[in-house]
Structure 1
Amino acid sequence: MYRILYWRRLRGAVLIAALTAVSADGAADAARERTQMLEEIRRSVRESADYTGREELRETTMAAMAAVPREAFVPAGQKPMANLNRPLPIGQGQTISQPLIVALMTDLLDPQPGDVVLEVGTGSGYQAAVLAQLVKQVYTVEIIPELAARARAAIASLGYDNITVRTGDGYAGWPQHAPFDGIIVTAAPEEIPPPLVEQLKTGGKLVIPLGPVHGFQQLVLVEKRDDGTLQRREVLPVAFVPLTRQRD
């Protein structure tokens, strides 16, 4: 009996050690892939400098991108491709944005440690997690309940305590927590939603894709002047899913 129990314990220990080694190898592979993804982002930023006006992104932005495991925010079937610099489907007809676009939108917002920011279109939760590395608080709104629940679970699994996810119509913003230092919109309306302008602080920035569904869209940086008017700059041609609204 002693020999049998000993063998079972030994076999169990060997199995645990093997699983730990596999897990460690997987983590190492993901880290290498993320490093390659960051290099691809840097290269793409240089190549698109004629559009964006910037040869490189802030190191704080790149550090935030390096800190967030994108594989935690994609469906199981997409995990082998999680660290490729490309958008991926996440279900419900939605996508997780290309890492280059996530990094660029974050950099355009120029988030500061004390900022409170709003994200419209939680999606997978990945953009919110990147922002959470850089600001005091992220409020994020997702209109599709299934995606909001999944994003909330992914965010909780990674231990973030400065992201609040709400299911609702992001076109209306989140007035209870306004005004915001910055707002990021991750789906494209044809025009800037007026509630978001109202909820943006004076001097604050709004990063938003604008344009029709299946038509020409531009990523736009908007800054709110002291007199309440807006300064707009088109940054880059993009292709986003449409901003969905609740209808009565």
Structure 2
Amino acid sequence: MTSELPPLDIEQARHNMVEQQIRPWEVLDQSVLDLLLAFRLLAFADMEIPLRIDGVDTGECMFAPKVEARLLQELGIRGHEHVLEIGTGSGYMAALAAHRAQHVLTVEINPLLAAFGAANLRRNGVHNVRVETGDGSRGWAARAPYDVIIVSGGLPLMPPELPAQLKVGGRMAAIVGEPPAMSAQIVTRVTESACDTLRLFETVARPLANALRPSAFRF
């Protein structure tokens, strides 16, 4: 995904994105802001960004940059940590996380998107990310546990397998619920058997493919 804007317009668009869209969302960590300014592989819209590849609508969207920035800030990823991302998309969130983590494993169910994300990462010189193709809606147990999990799609319900794949002290960012009642959350595994959940803000996100859903039956 590339921009057709001239270089000066790109710089102005990135500056506007940070000053007008990102900072008002309580994203004050300068290192996070610097990361957002470091990449050119995205549009700078204050909205979810549809993912189209060679004119084909994949049916998926990237989170708005302000949402990705806030989640990244709240996760507080450190240089020795290993990250699992579920839903590679364009590769943007994986690239942001990779600049803070030791290694990122990102899993994408759509082979077209997996190849697209991997190509974007290579093009931008991001080498500590591994892209795998598969269904990550219940996590990726083969390489667990993880220090950090990022769910780049909505979860109508939180599957218990996901927090179980965190190390003690590990954190997970996810958008949980169904429209219009969805919230961005940070889940921290505080012991082997307990997690704390911090609700950050309300938003809306398209659900992951094969995401766990509430039963259609009500009693």
Same fold judged by TM-score > 0.5?
Answer: yes
CA distance in 1, matches of 2:84, 2:134: 13
**Per-residue deviation, residues 1-49 of structure 1 (Å, max 9, x unmatched):** xxxxxxxxxxxxxxxxxxxxxxxx822321221111111234421xxxx
Moved over 3 A (4+): none
CA distance in 1, matches of 2:93, 2:80: 18
The alpha carbon displacement at 1:139 in A equals 0.6
The total of aligned residue pairs comes to 204
CA distance in 1, matches of 2:17, 2:100: 20
CA distance in 2, matches of 1:69, 1:206: 26
Q: Which residues in structure 2 correspond to 1:79-228 (within 5 Å)?
A: 82-90=43-51, 91-212=57-178, 214-228=179-193
CA distance in 2, matches of 1:134, 1:41: 22
Q: 2:18 aligns with which of 38, 42, 45?
A: 38
State the percentage of identical aligned residues.
31
Q: 2:28 aligns with which of 50, 57, 70?
A: 57
The alpha carbon displacement at 1:171 in A equals 1.7
Match status 1:245 vs 2:216: no
User: Aligned with 1:191: secondary structure?
Assistant: coil
**Per-residue deviation, residues 209-247 of structure 1 (Å, max 9, x unmatched):** 1112x441111111111243011121111111112129x
The alpha carbon displacement at 1:166 in A equals 1.0
User: Aligned with 1:140: secondary structure?
Assistant: strand
Structure ranking higher in helix proportion: 1
Q: Give the conservation status (yes or no) of the 8 Å contact 2:17–2:44.
A: yes
**Per-residue deviation, residues 132-162 of structure 1 (Å, max 9, x unmatched):** 1111111111111111111111111111111
**Per-residue deviation, residues 36-80 of structure 1 (Å, max 9, x unmatched):** 1111234421xxxxxxxxx44311211111112233xxxxxxxxx
CA distance in 1, matches of 2:191, 2:138: 23
* Unaligned residue ranges in structure 1 (runs of 5+): 1-24, 46-54, 72-81
In structure 2, the residue matched to 1:27 is 7
**Per-residue deviation, residues 75-96 of structure 1 (Å, max 9, x unmatched):** xxxxxxx122222211311112
The amino acid of 2:148's aligned partner reads G
Q: Give the conservation status (yes or no) of the 8 Å contact 1:171–1:195.
A: no
Say if 1:120 and 1:132 are closer, same or farther in 2 by CA, change over 3 A.
same
CA distance in 2, matches of 1:167, 1:208: 20
The alpha carbon displacement at 1:167 in A equals 1.1
CA distance in 2, matches of 1:227, 1:89: 38
The amino acid of 1:153's aligned partner reads A
Q: TM-score, normalised by structure 1?
A: 0.77
Q: TM-score, normalised by structure 2?
A: 0.86
